[in-house]
Amino acid sequence: MSSPGGQGGALSTRGAAGPRRMKWALELSLGNTRGRGDRQSKDGDVMYPVGYSDKPVPDTSVQETDRNLVEKRCWDIALGPLKQIPMNLFIMYMSGNTISIFPIMMVCMMAWRPIQALMSISATFKLLESSSQQWLQGFVYLIGNLLGSALAVYKCQSMGLLPTHSSDWLAFIEPPQRLEIMGGGMML
């Protein structure tokens, strides 16, 4: 029986509950309701007026310094994938070309992140909407991600995971059909 009013107070009839002298009582404060000890809030017993908020309201008016900050922030987003490339190169170099669980996980991560980014590129564009250089930033972002995925492909290639050799297709070659029927042997 949670009260839908929240801070609006709780009304409870206690007529049948206990041997009190009052026939009824209206309790306007929170917290003293029976059995709800954990609902007792620290700010407690004071009733706030309607419309009161105890959080300060931020000042939303746009200022000139903020616009520069937005621009900077947007460039950060756009250059993010490119900044990761040196790190990725280092990881690639460190993990080596052997096929084992760790390098595979690295490659998967490296390949998956740009793809994910490219798939949610419209969301990123929305983020960049406020910037004046939106298209340039978007382009840089795209290039960075493409470079990242190219790097992953290159890594796959150097690990031998790409079916680029003829041996990768060997299992699909059907045995050729024979045109002549031949048999015989030693004269009996």
Partner 1 sequence: MAGLCSVFSVCLCLLGFSAAVFEDQVGKFDWRQQFVGKVQFALFDTHSQASKKLLVATEKNIFASLNSRTGDLFWRHVDKTGPDGHINTLMMHGQDAVVVVGNGRLLRSWETTVGGLNWETVLDTGSFQSAAYIGVQDVVRYVAVLKKSAISLHYLSSGHQKWVENLPESDTVQYQTVYSGGNGQVFVLGVVPNSHIVIVEYNIEDGEIMKQKSVAAPWLSSLQSSCVMVGSGVLLCADPTTKSLYTFPLQSADQTTMTPILLEPVLISTQPHPARPPLSEFFLQLGPDYHILLQLKDGLVSTLRDFNPSYLVAFATTGEKTVAAVMSPKNETVSILFILSNSDPFHLHTYSASVINLYSADTGRRLLDTTIIYSMDPNGGKPAKLYIHTFLKKDDSVGYRVLVQTEDLVLTFLQQPGRVVWSREEALADVVTMEMVDLPLTGTQAELEGEFGKKADGLLPMVLKRLSSQFILLQAWMSHLWKLFYDARKPRSHVKNEVTFETLSRDEFNLQKMMVMVTASGKLFGIDSKSGTVLWKQYLENIQPNSVFKLMVQRTTAHFPHPPQCTLLVKDKVGLGSLYVFNPIFGKKSHISVPALPRPILQSLLLPLMDQDYSKVLLLIDDQYKVTAFPSTKNVLQQLQEMASSIFFYLVDSSQGRLSGFRLRKDLSTELIWEVVIPTEVQKIVGVKGKRANEHVHSQGRVMGDRSVLYKYLNPNLLAVVTESTDSHQERSFVGIFLIDGVTGRIVHEAVQRKARRPVHFVHSENWVVYVYWNTKSRRNEFSVLELFEGMELYNSTVFSSLDRPRPPQVLQQSYIFPSPISTLEATLTEKGITSRHLLVGLPSGAIVSLPKMFLDPRRPEVASDQSREENLIPYSPEMPIRTEWFINYNQTVSRVRGIYTAPSGLESTCLVVAYGLDIYQTRVYPSKQFDVLKDDYDYVLISSVLLGLFFATMISKRLAEVKLLNRAWR
Smallest gap from Cβ 66 to partner 1, in A, equals: 43
Closer residue to partner 1, CB minimum distance, 57 or 173: 173
Q: Does 181 bind partner 1 (CB under 8 A)?
A: yes
Q: Does 160 bind partner 1 (CB under 8 A)?
A: yes
Smallest gap from Cβ 57 to partner 1, in A, equals: 33
- Where b means 16+ CB within 10 Å and e means fewer, 47-73 reads eeeeeeeeeeeeeeeeeeeeeeeeeee
Burial of 137 (0-12, 13-18, 19+ CB in 10 A): buried
CA 128 from chain centre, in angstroms, equals 18
The rounded distance, in Å, linking the Cα atoms of 146 and 164 is 21
From 83-91, 105-113, 145-153, 180-188, span contacting partner 1 (CB under 8 A):
180-188
Q: Does 1 bind partner 1 (CB under 8 A)?
A: no
What does the DSSP 8-state code read for residue 31?
S
Q: Does 171 bind partner 1 (CB under 8 A)?
A: yes
Q: Does 179 bind partner 1 (CB under 8 A)?
A: yes
Q: Which residues bind partner 1 (CB under 8 A)?
A: 38, 160, 165-168, 170-171, 173-188
